[in-house]
Amino acid sequence: MRDLQVTTSGPELPLTLVRDASPSLATQLGDQLRAAMRAGVLSAGERLPSTRGLARQLGVSRTVVTEAYQQLYAEGWLDGRHGSGTYVADLPEIVRPAPATAPAPPRRLRRDPARHAGKVVDLRPGSPWTLDYDRAAWRRALRRAADHPLSPDPDPYGLPELREALAVHLRRTRAVPVDAEGMIVTRGTGNGLGLVTAALLGPGDRAGVEDPGYRVARNTFRAHGAEVVSCPVDEDGVIVEGLPGDLRVLYTTPAHQYPTGGRLPIPRRERLLAWARRTGAIVIEDDYDAEFRYDVAPLPALYGLDPDRVVLLGTLSKSLAPDVGVGWLLARPDLLARFAETRSETGDRTPGPVQAAVTALLDHGDLDRHLRRMRLEYARRRAVVVELLGPLVRGDTAGLHVMIELPEHVVRPLAEAARERGVLLDTAERHHNGAPRRHGIVLGYGSASLQDVRRGCEIVARLAAELAGAPVPREGRGGRRADPPAARAAPTSGPRAEPARAR
């Protein structure tokens, strides 16, 4: 790559073109001349070099300069005078950029000077660890994706080979009866939820959401004109008794309730499905955090218990990274067809090359290896959370976050004091629809290193002791508790799907 620079006669006007780069040389030249005219470096009536002269000075072909000038002529930036040359047109309406009088407001987190110093520990939920992945596996997957032919008419259901690979993966890890024909490959849970909402809900329909619960679900339902109905949760998840009988859909996170961390017991799952059959409601099961469990056996997905009344949403955003942008939607055939039709009508699709890359990760076992490695890593971080905050922790048997239950008057001062000490926390308050029912800190340990999780939890434990009188765990050598619950750190193996239930 070679930079070519020239200063034209007249005003100082350095033009730098880069060969073997995108965009083309003509486009680069046109963009730079246009910017000079916008900035007033080239003023109205000023003469430009001839095409031959500028081409010679820049060391490019005359065609490059001619194409750039022609485009600027067409846009009205230049004016040609016969026998006289090329001039900057008189454009009095050009709005020139005003000199900056003050910097634009920085993003919220960047106001924290500790973040620039690398001292902030982010213990907010919702993000996985993305710094440790198999780059060689990704390169192999992307090379395979590059060989996959591009489709002029993408299948709204997704690539057949990815659907088959995902079906095998879900049968093995979640024991749900599904095959390649029973799913749509989405861009993630939010995308799947949007498809379901667009197909099933309209203005005035009533849609239930756990409270506290996932704000995106509430916002998605409201965006389609539905009435959001708050459905209370307890330490196990959504409370079935008292659910309204006129709900069109109910959104729930039974694998690891967000944000309280409860796991819906089987008897309550059965009562929930009985309610859905009795009322005709569709249960939208967000299989949130189902990949990561500790000290507990896997519970069956609602979809596996009743595929007729449940739509299951899943994603790779926690297993791999949100950047991957691949998820799945499982539903009975008639609903699946409606969702696919909605997708076609709205032009929604999951990029084919991304699907091909994920297929390669699944086919080569790279995703399984990554999950095994991350289960162990997250288990270590979770063990530190339990070690340091044990008496306060709720919902630690699965997922990448826990609930630290605290008195209402302590929550905000604790979060603010932690921030002053460089620890970012989330509160349960903002996940409610209306008056808060549960109070505490929602602490995520997915995106922070093991050392940062320990440092952050030590700060939270000290603040809780100061503000709420909560017990600070007894410390042993190296600042650790003398009797850490090591047995709680080991993750369980994946669910064992019975052969008779293979999809």
Cα of 307 vs its chain's centroid, Å? 27
Mean pLDDT is lowest, of 6-15, 60-69, 175-184, for 6-15
Cα of 260 vs its chain's centroid, Å? 20
> What does the alpha-carbon distance between residue 208 and residue 470 come to, in Å, rounded to a whole number?
35
* CB neighbours of residue 124 within 10 Å: 18
Confidence of residue 52 (pLDDT cuts 50, 70, 90): confident
Question: Among 378, 327, 369, which residue's Cα sits nearest to residue 348?
Answer: 327
Q: C-alpha angle with apex 262: 319 to 279, nearest 5 degrees?
A: 100
Task: Judge contact between 315 and 403, C-beta under 8 A.
Answer: no
> What does the alpha-carbon distance between residue 32 and residue 103 come to, in Å, rounded to a whole number?
25
Q: C-alpha angle with apex 452: 484 to 488, nearest 5 degrees?
A: 25
pLDDT in tens, 111-168: 344 443 457 999 999 999 998 888 899 999 999 999 988 888 899 999 999 999 999 9
> What does the alpha-carbon distance between residue 143 and residue 44 come to, in Å, rounded to a whole number?
51
Mean pLDDT of 448-469: 93
Q: Which long-range contacts (CB under 8 A, 24 or more apart) does 342-346 make?
A: 342/195, 342/198, 342/199, 343/156, 343/184, 343/195, 344/156, 346/198
pTM of the model: 0.72
Question: Among 345, 331, 304, 360, which residue's Cα sits nearest to residue 177?
Answer: 304
Inform me whether the pLDDT recorded for 78 exceeds 80. yes
Task: Judge contact between 501 and 303, C-beta under 8 A.
Answer: no
pLDDT in tens, 235-293: 999 999 989 999 999 999 999 999 999 999 999 999 999 999 999 999 999 998 888 88
Name residue, tokens 């410390």: 475
What's the distance, Cα to Cα, between the start and end of the chain in Å?
A: 54
Task: Judge contact between 390 and 473, C-beta under 8 A.
Answer: yes
Encoding tokens for residue 469? 């009188």
Encoding tokens for residue 84? 């006289």
β pairing state of 282-286 and 310-315: parallel
Average pLDDT value over all residues in the chain: 84
